[in-house]
Structure 1
Amino acid sequence: MLKNKYGHFSDGGASYTVTDWRTPRPWINVISNGQWGLAISQAGGGYSWLEHSMLNRITRWQQDTVGDHCGKFLLLRDNDTGESWSITPQPLKPAFEKYSCVHGMGYTVFNTRAFGIEAEWTIFVPQNIKCEVWTLKLKNVSGRKRNISLVSYLELLLGVFPDWHREFHNLFVKTKFDRKTNSLLADSNLWTAPLPGDAGWNKGWPFTAVFAASAAPSSYTCDKEEIFGAYNSWHDARFLKEGGALSGRTGMGFEPIISMKFDLELADGETKDINFMLGALKHDTFAKDYPAYIKALKKPQALLKETRDHWLELCNRFIVKTPEPAVDALVNYWLKYQTISCRILGRSAYYQCGGAFGFRDQLQDSQLYLALDPARTKAQIKEHATHQKKDG
């Protein structure tokens, strides 16, 4: 539907399929359930946050809409040939034999093929858990047996964005590996969010970030220098050139990342699946809440269906039919979804990512619910009234 050189609407307008990733500017999906949120572009750039996208950013990101080179990545390495590539266009820009990025309501899916390996990577935010779930399917279509490594990579911030004292703040982040749940966990002893009535720079981050996998990694590291080496970029990253096992380094005193490595053997035509979860939990309820997060790794398809059904049911409460398909796609799906997920729940994007509650903005945005769920508009008006000062 409405095809152009970069892509087309799909699923009757409920999703958009990007077929040429070199769009004029990043084409992003902002996905949020009101607690956990993420922004992800057609190139693989983006970031994640908990509750507030400026004060409680989980992963590092650089606001650069020209380069769009910072994100959470999955990479592959052929251990026989030494060739390395990324599943998304960034950061290695492989010469894909096949590429598409589907931005849907509550989810994004990358379908790529490079060096004889097909990958399907789905990222979504469940409705009732403060996390994001990734499902990855790899298929060997090369006509021969493959010995490959899958590597995950994301950089940790765990605090306020932008990070004015990056190297100083890195000193307070502590990581560890939990073998029972195949999880890397990260805490920070410093949180500089300017919260009312607190001690400013004299408080710790009250959460634990978790990155878990459905399978045990072959090796892992939380030290960025181990991946890159000093002064290197992605295109001459030491680990991608040399291969081998990661050291298992965790703790403090280095640039903190989350990286897991999985050594895989794929026969011709064979498919392997692995799931990931990235989230954050409060310290005082971690033990009680964590099992639900790990369970998300075991039933991702049910959670994905729940997410897709939620957005479709909400948007389908009020449908228009006009002579113009573009109007229908926007009014029936994307104006609703963007207003709710990006503006009301997420309050973040690529050009503005401040997380603030705008008094006028939120009231204006809540008008959308008049045709979908009028009680939500009423509740938003009441919420605003509680913050209205006597002097106006």
Structure 2
Amino acid sequence: MKFGHFDDLNREYVIETPKTPYPWINYLGSEAFFGLISNTAGGYNFYKDARLRRITRYRYNNVPIDMGGRYFYINDNGTVWNPGWSPVKTELDAYECRHGMGYTIIKGKKNDLSAEVTFFVPNGYDGEVQQVVLKNEGASAKTFKFFSFAEWCLWDAQDDCTNFQRNFSTGRVEVDGSVIYHKTEYRDRRNHYAFYSVNDAIDGYDTDRDAFIGLYNGFNNPEAVLAGKATNSFADGWSPIASHYKEITLAAGESKTLIFILGYVEMPVDQKFEADGKTINKVKAKAMIEKFDTPEKVAEGLSDLKASWDKLLGILNVTTPDDKVDRMVNIWNQYQCMVTFNLSRSASYFESGIGRGMGFRDSNQDILGFVHQIPDRAKERIIDIASTQFPDGGCYHQYQPLT
């Protein structure tokens, strides 16, 4: 069975069915903020360290596979579906996923309503941009309910999935307009928070997972989505989430663009709060949101990302009698080497990002694959690795980036 094809002109792999033999993932980000995303929008995000700064939850060894991610739900007059097919798994009229160089585009269509979602981490940016383009391709007006969904991890991914008796009381959120803030432990012991925003007014929200999904429901049938309305729940402990709700009406042929940003912010200790001493300082978050609050800004950010990859992949180019060899050497091997350098295999769908960290030997070996592209970063990595050595020449077998 054929599952997709290579688009060499755009440097993309095009997946033509959501039912791949295993979730086929892409990596977003190449500096500090990273995301793993599957062809059905599963995966998770983290800042620098997949264990100590995990931003969104992901459940390994789950049944069914690949549960948890950045999901968008559409309730179109009782028909509930996702642009990426999962987790509702309603059969779509059309589906396509394009994994590119640092970005992924997922397209879905059901009952004359199409949704195209572009995911990427812009250069020099501590967040993931998610642009959703909804279009009514039918002959009459269409009104539907639209929901976003992300589940917060309580920062330390290992503690998050083991220390339940403590974690059920630590989750904290703040809602300001169309922005949901994840401020767990911010008052007590942290100077960082995360946020999930949308560039439009919303009709409701949910921040408590049990209120949104229901105690006896799952990602495939959240109660709020089935009901067609958010509950405006406010998480105090338990499992905090971020879900925006909006009712949308599109005339025949009309389209609407929504821009979501999942971001990470660090604040100086003496600037953590506003004057009241309780409200988190949102100056940096607002600046991040403003940077990509229009389709034009998003297009510019994506173009800049593609240009940076054009430059990296233009350093080494080979021509052989076999176009498959050319594709492998000129595009995908180099891309894979850069991903491996960034994460040293520490975060994938087979490595949880919790126990392995950056391997001393492996990270040294990884440098060989990309030193011709970014020698300055290779030098930085060598210095980082050397700093973990002992005076007698020994070293840690592996280390977490933020330790």
Q: Normalising to structure 1: TM-score of the pair?
A: 0.89
Query: In the alignment, which residue of structure 2 is the partner of 1:198?
Result: none
Q: Deviations over 1:268-325 (max 9, x none)?
A: 1110001010011113265553343112332211111111111121111111111222
User: Which residues in structure 2 correspond to 1:110-259 (within 5 Å)?
Assistant: 110-162=106-158, 163-166=161-164, 168-179=166-177, 182-189=178-185, 204-244=189-229, 246-259=230-243
Hey, what's the Cα distance between the residues in 2 that align with 1:255 and 1:33? 29
1:282–1:380: structure 2 CA closer, same or farther, 3 Å change rule? closer
Q: Deviations over 1:239-271 (max 9, x none)?
A: 222223x23232413421101001100111110
Hey, what's the Cα distance between the residues in 1 that align with 2:259 and 2:44? 19
Q: SS at 1:363's partner residue?
A: helix
CA contact (8 A) 1:31 1:342 kept: no
Identity %: 28
Hey, what's the Cα distance between the residues in 2 that align with 1:300 and 1:93? 29
Query: In the alignment, which residue of structure 1 is the partner of 2:347?
Result: 348
Does residue 1:60 correspond to 2:60, yes or no?
no
Q: SS at 1:365's partner residue?
A: helix
Q: SS at 2:330's partner residue?
A: helix
Query: In the alignment, which residue of structure 1 is the partner of 2:363?
Result: 362
CA contact (8 A) 2:88 2:221 kept: no
Q: 1:320 aligns with which of 318, 323, 333?
A: 318
Give how far 1:121 is off. Answer: 0.2
CA contact (8 A) 2:142 2:252 kept: yes
Task: Letter of the 1:274 partner, please give it.
Answer: L
1:374–1:253: structure 2 CA closer, same or farther, 3 Å change rule? closer
1:105–1:21: structure 2 CA closer, same or farther, 3 Å change rule? same
Hey, what's the Cα distance between the residues in 2 that align with 1:229 and 1:289? 34
Hey, what's the Cα distance between the residues in 1 that align with 2:136 and 2:81? 15
Hey, what's the Cα distance between the residues in 1 that align with 2:90 and 2:23? 18
CA contact (8 A) 1:369 1:376 kept: no
CA contact (8 A) 2:5 2:15 kept: yes
Query: In the alignment, which residue of structure 2 is the partner of 1:261?
Result: 245
Does residue 1:6 correspond to 2:3, yes or no?
yes
Query: In the alignment, which residue of structure 1 is the partner of 2:389?
Result: 388
Q: SS at 2:173's partner residue?
A: strand
Does residue 1:282 correspond to 2:266, yes or no?
yes
User: Which residues in structure 2 correspond to 1:79-94 (within 5 Å)?
Assistant: 81-94=77-90
CA contact (8 A) 1:137 1:273 kept: yes
Query: In the alignment, which residue of structure 1 is the partner of 2:275?
Result: none
Query: In the alignment, which residue of structure 1 is the partner of 2:401?
Result: none
Hey, what's the Cα distance between the residues in 1 that align with 2:310 and 2:352? 26
CA contact (8 A) 1:320 1:328 kept: yes
Give how far 1:148 is off. Answer: 0.6
1:309–1:227: structure 2 CA closer, same or farther, 3 Å change rule? same
Q: Which runs of 5+ in 2 are unaligned?
A: 272-280, 394-403
Q: Which moved more, 1:8-17 or 1:281-290?
A: 281-290
Hey, what's the Cα distance between the residues in 2 that align with 1:21 and 1:242? 26
Total equivalences in the alignment: 373
Q: After TM superposition, where is structure 1 displaced by more than 6 Å over at least 4 residues in a row?
A: none
